[in-house]
Structure 1
């Protein structure tokens, strides 16, 4: 059986291996998992941050290149990772490389739409941390530990600056693969009308699957997401909590 690669991009402040590593337990053996770590994060903690989305995309594409020229692949991105996943696809096309068979996205509106609230990276540390607390998904001990704050606050601030300063270049460029969107109706950063705007980013099909939970719902339903990925990429696996 031929393999297909699944490259997974983290959300702001996150480590790809910490977020997606356990997915290997539920993904079909025919899908090879590749958590894509950003510079300055997780296993690449000692490296300088990417200056902007374009630099991050080029770095990740260089790491993907040896695999994607050999076999089919798909990309998953949550929140900040959605913009990176889309731009990776555009960059692959521009470089003459194969595009992914599918983009799996969650937690963010398409890049031609903008959030109305003040950019978080411009807030004071106290205001920034309060917003992070309200978003949820961050352990309470993070806010109580000076050592953790010293280590991770710069990472969070950098990521929010990078994604909030990112702008779509021109009109959306529809990708060759399918787009599959996972959303939670309790996520304050997405709503269904905006999510349906992702349709124009694919030349093929768009589908969405709703779940329960907040912005980081993927941690609660990761096994169901893996089943949907299996079904999409290999034609099997199922879940009761989905909608096309």
Structure 2
């Protein structure tokens, strides 16, 4: 009989991408974070390669769909991570599960995002014209160099970005400061042009437990600009939960 102790399952990090993006934002994360973390990049509805799956017009509906889709995987030890819009999506999912008495994440990690009640300036970007939004998007340096001159791809990206921003502004839940039973850890870029440090720090109002606040060199997409330091800071947050 094999009496060897059964290893604890790895901690799962569910990653939620920024507005206008896709699950490809988490390419390379598994190697960077190592074997004690299982990285699961969440593909939001309507972001598949065919673009045919249903998109949701508000965060409440999306959170309910994600809770059903991820199902039992959320009943194992996990952390929710979201960047920009993804932070609001991850928070909505955590808040929904809290109201349903379901298992909470070990931590909610939010990056490049103002707290929900301070996201008005970001949501106002949906009022920009297509040309203005394209310039805004390019100014955030979130477009790969090889695609910056691809007008067809950029037009599609602007449409997706606008739809995602409108979704973030459509749910009353985004403004609810219901304390979560898990810590909220905040990461923000030192020169982010759309997220002020004080607006990111306001996430502390969304947890009943003490989290962390870390400033990483870079702009809105600091995980790519300062990759080594970003993963070092994220690793510090995850270390206590993932074990040695």
Which of 110, 113, 116 aligns to 2:118? It is 113
Aligned length: 235
Give the direction of change, closer, same or farther, for the CA distance of 1:60–1:224 in structure 2 (3 Å limit). Answer: farther
- What corresponds to 1:45 in structure 2? 51
Counterpart contact for 1:230–1:236, Cα < 8 Å? no
RMSD: 2.3
- What corresponds to 1:21 in structure 2? 27
- Where in structure 2 are there 5+ consecutive unaligned residues? 1-6
Q: Which runs of 4+ in 1 moved over 6 A?
A: none
- What corresponds to 2:17 in structure 1? 10
- What corresponds to 2:62 in structure 1? 56
Structure 1 length as normaliser, TM-score?
A: 0.86
Alpha-carbon deviations, 1:74-108, whole Å to 9, x = none?
10001001111111111112233101010111111
Partner SS for 1:105: strand
Structure 2 length as normaliser, TM-score?
A: 0.86
- What corresponds to 2:93 in structure 1? 88
Counterpart contact for 2:81–2:110, Cα < 8 Å? yes
Partner SS for 2:33: coil
Give the direction of change, closer, same or farther, for the CA distance of 1:175–1:222 in structure 2 (3 Å limit). Answer: farther
Give the direction of change, closer, same or farther, for the CA distance of 1:137–1:201 in structure 2 (3 Å limit). Answer: same
Give the direction of change, closer, same or farther, for the CA distance of 1:213–1:231 in structure 2 (3 Å limit). Answer: closer
Cα separation, 1, equivalents of 2:123 and 2:73:
39
Q: Which moved more, 1:109-118 or 1:51-60?
A: 109-118
Superposition deviation, residue 174 in structure 1:
0.8
Counterpart contact for 1:77–1:84, Cα < 8 Å? yes
Give the direction of change, closer, same or farther, for the CA distance of 1:229–1:145 in structure 2 (3 Å limit). Answer: closer
Superposition deviation, residue 31 in structure 1:
1.4
Within the alignment, does 1:77 sit opposite 2:99 as a pair?
Answer: no
- What corresponds to 2:139 in structure 1? 134
Cα separation, 2, equivalents of 1:230 and 1:118:
30
Counterpart contact for 2:168–2:174, Cα < 8 Å? no
Counterpart contact for 1:112–1:168, Cα < 8 Å? no
Superposition deviation, residue 44 in structure 1:
6.5
Counterpart contact for 2:58–2:171, Cα < 8 Å? yes
- Where in structure 1 are there 5+ consecutive unaligned residues? 238-244
Alpha-carbon deviations, 1:92-125, whole Å to 9, x = none?
1223310101011111111112434782222221
Cα separation, 2, equivalents of 1:126 and 1:96:
45
